[in-house]
Amino acid sequence: MPYDIKKTDMPHNVILEGRERLSISGVEDVESFDEESIVAYTSAGTLIIRGNGLHIEKLSLDLGELTVDGYVDSLGYESEERKVGLWQRLFK
Which CATH number belongs to the domain containing residue 59 in this structure? Answer: 2.60.40.2000
SS3 sequence, the chain? Answer: CCCCCCCCCCCCEEEEECCCEEEEECEEEEEEECCCEEEEEECCEEEEEEEEEEEEEEEECCCCEEEEEEEEEEEEECCHHHHCCHHHHHCC
Domain that holds residue 58: 13-90
Taking alpha carbons only, the member of 41, 36, 37, 39 closest to residue 26 is 41
Q: Is residue 6 part of a domain?
A: no
What total of structural domains would you count in the chain?
A: 1
Is the pLDDT assigned to residue 32 strictly greater than 90?
yes
Q: Is residue 8 part of a domain?
A: no
Q: Is residue 3 part of a domain?
A: no
Q: Is residue 28 part of a domain?
A: yes
36-76 pLDDT tens trace: 999 999 999 999 999 999 999 999 999 999 999 999 999 99
Q: What is the pLDDT of residue 20?
A: 97
* Average pLDDT in the chain: 86
pTM of the model: 0.77
HSE value, Cβ hemisphere, 13 Å, CA-based, for 83? 13
Q: What is the pLDDT of residue 5?
A: 45
What single letter denotes the amino acid at residue 7? K
Query: What confidence tier does 1 reach under pLDDT thresholds 50, 70, 90?
Result: very low
Q: Is residue 5 part of a domain?
A: no
Q: Is residue 83 part of a domain?
A: yes
Is the pLDDT assigned to residue 15 strictly greater than 90?
yes
CA-to-CA separations, 65 to 25, 26, 80, 82, in angstroms, rounded: 5, 6, 23, 25
Kindly state the percentage of the chain with pLDDT values over 90. 73
